[in-house]
Amino acid sequence: MSTLVDQLKDLLGPHGYLEGADAEAKAQSGWSHLGTPPVVLRPASTDEVSKVLKLCHDAGQPIVAWGGLTGLVESANVGHGELALSLERMHKIEEIDEIAGTATVQAGAILQNVQEEIEQHHLILPLDLGARGSATIGGNIATNAGGNRVIRYGMMRDMVLGLEVVLADGTVLSSLGKMIKDNAGYDLKQLFIGSEGTLGVVTRAVVRLRRKPDSQDTAFMAVDEFSKLPKLLDHMDRKLAGTLSAFECLWNDFYRLLTTEPASHTPPLSQDQPYYVLIEAMGAHQDQDTERFELALEEAFEKELIVDAVLAKNQTERDKMWAIRDDVGQVAQNWPIFTFDVSLTVHDMEAYVAEMKDRLTSSYPDHTAMVFGHLGDGNLHVVVGVGDDSADARRGVEACVYEPLRSRGGSVSAEHGVGLEKRPYLLFTRTPEEIATMRMIKTALDPKNILNPGKIFEAQPLKSAAE
């Protein structure tokens, strides 16, 4: 074992690292194997993270930061000889400031734990996504997570007021301010939000909270034409006076998958319509808001924007509706599968999905293609199965999914990031000048290229000090 690894183990103590079978087990995520590093480092403080990175920087040792390991673009994968840096021991909620409406949280805190603790103070962290039970705050920041409520509250970027980040050489940038307005020079934290651990390691954050809504109204709707979906979105947004928080669309194949055995969910509506929408509004006065919500639904019926709907009458029914949308794991029935996360304008979606499916049918007549997403913010998730998970099959399917985006000005990554998986397609979304500027920033902050090397764009291979 290398001298460097011995130094790191001595620094962190017996509880501060995993190796061998324990490292192998830790490298298993819900969707893939991340590769087994020689050692998984588990610092317990920002100071320890700083010392770890300084040692790695001095030795030219590549290292990959790990959060909840729920990413889908191979951004947490470790290559040969790369070390892993897990923030799992840094999981404290350090402060909840009810007056300022902020929480100071360590990067390894699990999103659901943070949500539940904050709600005890009659506040919410608006970020919400299916992986809430394992995704970490640091990972959410590193990937600029989106989720179900972007239409109202924005992405993770909109919820971060301050960050503490450790740079590649161990330098600690600590800017944990609670101010919404702070125009004193460059807003450095924005560099690290969505950077996938390639520019620095997030260790702590101040996140903006919102007052916990006193009302919640949820409904499932069936729609018979795609052209009615944007009209329905506009109608509900206007009629609900700013309280619309979610507008989730499920194409028929996906809805059927989630509401047919072996899935355990009972379909709230019949399975014979092409589109289904899960809509939610959160406000301040339950009786008044429910009355307004029901009136908006009635008017949607009158305008023939929906053909059927069911309104949740209590929290149990709301939970059942959201459980359907969140049960994305059912797509594993079509294994092997390839998952995609794209964005484009709503008025381009119908033509995009049609072209994508035509391309898939031409190349893979027996394919499955599940489409669903956060229609209100232009984000679609696509899950394709062609009965083959070879590299050739992946490239063929990726061409079918990504090529139709180019002429429509869409993005190959709405909220999951780039990692390794989408790296070959970055030019579909970013200009050469933009990528060159990204490289300049990377070189300035990580001149030895030790932080998550090769993710987002290709990097020159480095010799590992652990070899």
Domain CATH for 390: 3.30.70.2740
DSSP H helical ranges for 407-459 = 432-445
* Dist CA 135 CA 152 (whole Å): 21
Alpha helix (H) ranges present in 60-185?
Answer: 111-119, 137-143, 150-153
Chain centre to alpha carbon of residue 408: 23
Residue 271 shares a structural domain with residue 183: no
Angstrom distances, CA of residue 112 to CA of 70, 136, 282, 302 = 14, 9, 19, 39
Note whether 198 and 112 are same-domain residues.
yes
* Pick from 97, 100, 99: nearest CA to 179: 100
Minimal CA–CA distance to 378: which of 205, 249, 285, 214? 249
Helix, strand, coil tally for the chain in percent (to 5): 35, 20, 40
Q: Same domain for 321 and 231?
A: yes
CATH number of the domain at 168, please: 3.30.465.10
Which one of 326, 345, 363 terminates a domain? Answer: 326
Looking up residue 234, the CATH number of its domain turns out to be: 3.30.70.2190
Q: Is residue 97 part of a domain?
A: yes
Task: Say what the alpha-carbon torsion angle 259, 262, 263, 267 is, to the nearest 10 degrees.
Answer: 20
What per-residue confidence (pLDDT) applies to 142? Answer: 96
The backbone torsions φ and ψ at residue 17, rounded to the nearest 5 degrees and listed phi first, read -160, 160
Q: Looking at the domain assignment, is residue 466 inside a domain?
A: no
Q: Is position 245 within any domain?
A: yes
Question: Which residues, listed in sequence order, are joined to residue 95 by a DSSP beta bridge?
Answer: 104
- Residue where a domain terminates, one of 152, 176, 211: 211
449: left (phi over 0), alpha (psi -120 to 50) or beta: left
Q: How many domains does the chain have?
A: 3
d(CA 102, CA 234): 31
Does some domain include residue 55? no
SS3 at position 339:
strand
Q: Do residue 349 and residue 257 come from a single domain?
A: no
The pair of structure tokens assigned to 465 is 């000090």
Q: Is residue 169 part of a domain?
A: yes
Predicted confidence at residue 70, as pLDDT, reads: 87
Side chain identity at residue 42, one-letter code: R
Question: CA-to-CA distance for 198 and 168, rounded, in angstroms?
Answer: 9
Give the per-residue pLDDT at 462: 47
Structural domain contains residue 128: yes
Q: List Cβ<8 Å contacts ≥24 apart for 312-319.
A: 312/217, 312/218, 312/219, 315/216, 317/218, 318/216, 318/218, 318/280
Rounded to 5 degrees, φ, ψ at 281 are -125, 140
Q: What is the structure's pLDDT at 30?
A: 63
H/E stretch holding 384 reads: strand 379-385
Q: Do 376 and 406 fall within a single domain?
A: yes
107 lies in the same domain as 184: yes
Between the alpha carbon of residue 367 and those of residues 276, 349, 354, 390, 437, the distances in Å are 22, 20, 14, 15, 39
- Predicted pLDDT of residue 31: 60
Final residue belonging to a domain, choices 291, 326, 361 = 326
Chain centroid to Cα 238, Å, comes to 28
Q: Which helix (H) or strand (E) holds 341?
A: strand 338-343
Termini Cα distance of the chain: 8
Q: Residue 458: what pLDDT?
A: 84
Query: Dihedral sign, CA of 306, 311, 316, 319?
Result: positive
Helix (H) or strand (E) holding 234: helix 228-239
The neighbouring-strand residues paired with 280 are: 218, 246
456: left (phi over 0), alpha (psi -120 to 50) or beta: left
**118 phi, psi to nearest 5 deg:** -65, -35
Whether 311 and 333 share a structural domain: no
Residues 307 and 339 in one domain: no
Considering only CA atoms, which of 414, 402, 401 is closest in space to residue 367?
401
pLDDT of residue 80: 85
In whole angstroms, give the CA distance from residue 154 to residue 377.
9
Structural element, H or E, at residue 162: strand 160-166
- Using DSSP bridges, classify how beta strands 63-66 and 83-86 pair: parallel, antiparallel or unpaired: parallel
Do 132 and 164 lie in one domain? The reply is yes
* Per-residue confidence (pLDDT) for residue 460, from 0 to 100: 53
Q: Give the 3-state secondary structure of residue 17.
A: strand
**Dist. CA 53–CA 202, nearest whole Å:** 12
* Total residue length of the chain: 467
How many whole angstroms separate alpha carbon 328 and alpha carbon 254? 9
Question: Residue 28: what pLDDT?
Answer: 84
Closest CA to 343 of 384, 302, 374, 318: 374
The whole-number pLDDT of residue 1 equals 42
> Does 283 fall in a domain?
yes
The answer as to whether 442 is a domain residue is no
pTM of the model: 0.91
Same domain as 347, residue 320: no
Mean pLDDT per 10-residue interval, the chain, length 467 residues? 89 96 86 84 98 97 94 90 96 97 98 97 93 94 92 95 98 94 94 97 98 95 97 96 93 97 96 97 94 97 97 96 94 94 94 97 96 91 96 97 95 94 94 95 96 87 50
**Residue 334, domain extent:** 329-428
Cross-strand bridge partners of residue 379: 343, 374
Q: Do 98 and 207 belong to one domain? A: yes
Residue 417's nearest CA partner among 147, 164, 145, 177 is 145
